Amino acid sequence: MHPAIAHLLATARPILDEYGYAGLFVCNLTEGFGIPLPGETLLVGGAILATTGDFDIRLVVPLAFIATVLGNCVGYLIGRTGGRALLLRCRIPTARLERVESFFAGRGALVVVIARFLDGLRQTAPLVAGSLQMPWWRFFGASMVGAAIWVGVWGLGVYLVGAHLHGVLAGLHRLARHGWWITALALIVVALWLVQRKQRT
């Protein structure tokens, strides 16, 4: 087993073995309103375990999606009701809150979608969206899109890769290890192309 998979399952499996689908649901639900739990880790772990028959992907994917959207909606309502003062009282670091607020400026819906893939932002974006009075329909639509993509990638995507996951991770590891010469080769090719183009003109 690839070390990355072993490490992930070492975190996810005890929770999934103890609490099953309920653990997956609750962790992804509570992440939506600021509580940093391993929702993404459990989603990936559940998808991996579904490839061996220990879990059912037909339950993992919809449960994670519903929990994510519901959690985001709860976070939005908390932020909208309590405002910025409540977020600060909840001990969300001021620097993190200011960064999230600056991200939202002019691109709120896009931030809600992207936030699903960024730890820290994933937990605080719904709260900030509510505190900034982002229109409900826009937030809900962006939350649905973000959750669908996120669950599609880390749930269904991991499941479909299935038996090839070890090879994919090993390939990415080799690519990262040798990335310096790949980058250098790409730069040389670009430089030669620019020189050739300049000579032609």
Percentage of the chain lying above the pLDDT 90 cut: 35
The pLDDT value given to residue 136: 92
Q: What is the pTM of this model?
A: 0.73
Nearest 10 degrees: CA dihedral of 86, 71, 117, 8?
A: 110
Res 199 pLDDT > 70: no
Cα distance between residue 11 and residue 14, in whole Å: 7
Of 58-67, 88-97, 117-126, 128-137, which one has max mean pLDDT?
58-67
Q: Which residue has the tokens 């600060």?
A: 88
Q: Is the pLDDT of residue 177 over 60?
A: no
Q: Dihedral sign for Cα 18, 10, 159, 122, please.
A: positive
Q: Shortest CA distance to 64 belongs to which of 107, 87, 30?
A: 30
Tokens for 121, please give them: 């932002």
SS3 readout for 11-65: HHHHHHHHHHHHHHHHHHHHHCCCCCCCHHHHHHHHHHHHHCCCCCHHHHHHHHH
Distance CA(183)–CA(176), nearest Å, equals 11
State the Cα–Cα distance between residues 140 and 68, nearest whole angstrom.
11
Per residue in 11-48, pLDDT (tens digit) is: 888 999 999 999 999 999 998 887 888 888 999 999 98
Residue 186 has pLDDT above 60, yes or no: no
What digits encode the pLDDT tens for the residues 53-112?
899 999 999 999 999 999 999 999 998 888 777 766 766 677 767 776 776 766 778 888
Q: What is the pLDDT of residue 152?
A: 93
d(CA 166, CA 150): 21
**At residue 185, does pLDDT exceed 80?**
no
The whole-angstrom separation of Cα 54 and Cα 65 is: 20
